């Protein structure tokens, strides 16, 4: 029977460790500080930010949420970011995406000081990742490495395939695996014979944003499968097709009217893989936990 890689348990471990680290820093100098900038009324963004602030409160990180008006200009938002760059008690800055369409998001992200870039998305930090120099790493891939490490799944010498090439997950995931001595292939929507390439993977990371794309035909028997997808199904026929062998999941769909599913077919992965992350409860919980770790690491570096 396949091993379920429990992200919630690992998140709780990391937050408990982080709580101790925050207390140590506070005893020496001060607690780390994280500022989240939220522009606009995107409902999902408000939920994400609320969860981030809650995590800060639980472990003792000083946090603040800034909510400038939705009509703020790119120049005004950059000016706000520059004020946060100069603030001594702000260690980490996070501008929640997506921003309203009239704002140049790339220019705003470039304005964040690389040393305060808790998302690890600034080009300088991307370069630090590529060259394996110290610096914040994108939180979701960093969390995936913790899942592999804490479940004692070997990476060195193994074949890893990452499906998806985003700056947020796919590309940084590939480099983190490469730095741990995996042989890495990055795939995407134009990869020829995608199922055949995926079947070569000892470690398969799915980050395409397409519900249940990765079926049994993509999975090598005995592989470790990491599912990054969080797709909300609301179509009954699609849910019936995906959950045909999981009647309890289909019953949950009928009760709630929608359900989360990953990029990996939930029944197929349980049958083919040696270990896999479920959706929900796998990769998702680690993202905020690693944001806390990045904030603490940045604060420790800034304090010397």
Residue 304 pLDDT greater than 90, yes or no: no
Q: Name the residue among 221, 237, 203 with its Cα closest to residue 269.
A: 221
Q: How many Å apart are CA 190 and CA 118, to the nearest integer?
A: 31
Provide the sign of the torsion angle of the four alpha carbons 93, 109, 168, 134, taken in this order: negative
C-alpha pair distances (Å), 122 with each of 118, 149, 169, 288: 9, 26, 14, 18
Residue 1 pLDDT greater than 90, yes or no: no
pTM of the model: 0.95
Q: How many Å apart are CA 90 and CA 85, to the nearest integer?
A: 8
Tokens for 291? Answer: 């944001």
Domains of the chain: 30-114 (3.40.50.10860), 139-284 (3.40.50.720)
What percent of the chain has a predicted confidence (pLDDT) above 90? Answer: 98
Mean pLDDT to the nearest integer, 179-205: 97
pLDDT in the model for residue 192: 97
Residue 264 pLDDT greater than 90, yes or no: yes
Query: What positions carry a catalytic annotation?
Result: 52, 96, 119
Q: How many Å apart are CA 90 and CA 86, to the nearest integer?
A: 8
Residue carrying structure tokens 């000081």: 113
Mean pLDDT to the nearest integer, 198-210: 97
66: confidence class by pLDDT, cuts 50, 70, 90: very high
Mean pLDDT to the nearest integer, 216-226: 98
Are 67 and 123 contacting, i.e. CB atoms less than 8 angstroms apart? Answer: no
């Amino acid at each position: 029977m396949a091993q379920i890689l429990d992200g919630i348990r690992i998140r709780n471990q990391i937050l408990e460790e982080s709580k101790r680290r925050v207390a140590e820093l506070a005893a020496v100098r001060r607690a780390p500080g994280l500022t989240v900038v939220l522009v606009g009324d995107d409902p999902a963004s408000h939920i994400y930010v609320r969860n981030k602030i809650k995590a800060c409160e639980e472990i003792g990180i000083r946090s603040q949420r800034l909510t400038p008006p939705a009509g703020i200009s790119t120049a005004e938002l950059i000016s706000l970011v520059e004020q946060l760059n100069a603030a001594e008690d702000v260690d980490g800055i996070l501008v929640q995406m997506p921003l309203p369409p009239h704002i140049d998001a790339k220019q705003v992200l470039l304005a964040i000081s690389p040393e305060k870039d808790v998302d690890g998305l600034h080009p300088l930090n991307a370069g630090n990742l590529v060259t394996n120099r110290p610096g914040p790493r994108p939180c979701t891939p960093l969390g995936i490495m913790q899942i592999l490490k804490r479940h004692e799944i070997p990476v060195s010498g193994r074949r890893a395939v990452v499906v998806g090439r985003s700056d947020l997950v796919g590309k940084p995931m590939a480099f983190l695996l490469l730095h741990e001595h995996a042989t890495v292939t990055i795939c995407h929507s134009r990869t020829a014979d995608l199922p055949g390439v995926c079947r070569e993977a000892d470690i398969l990371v799915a980050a395409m944003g397409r519900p249940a794309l990765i079926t049994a035909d993509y999975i090598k028997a005995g592989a470790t499968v990491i599912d990054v997808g969080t797709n909300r199904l609301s179509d009954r026929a699609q849910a019936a097709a995906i959950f045909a062998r999981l009647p309890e999941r289909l019953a949950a769909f009928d009760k709630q009217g929608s359900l989360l599913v990953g990029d990996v077919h939930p029944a197929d992965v349980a049958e083919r893989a040696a270990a896999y992350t479920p959706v929900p409860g796998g990769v998702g919980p680690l993202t905020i936990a690693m944001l806390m770790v990045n904030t603490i690491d940045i604060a420790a570096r800034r304090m010397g």
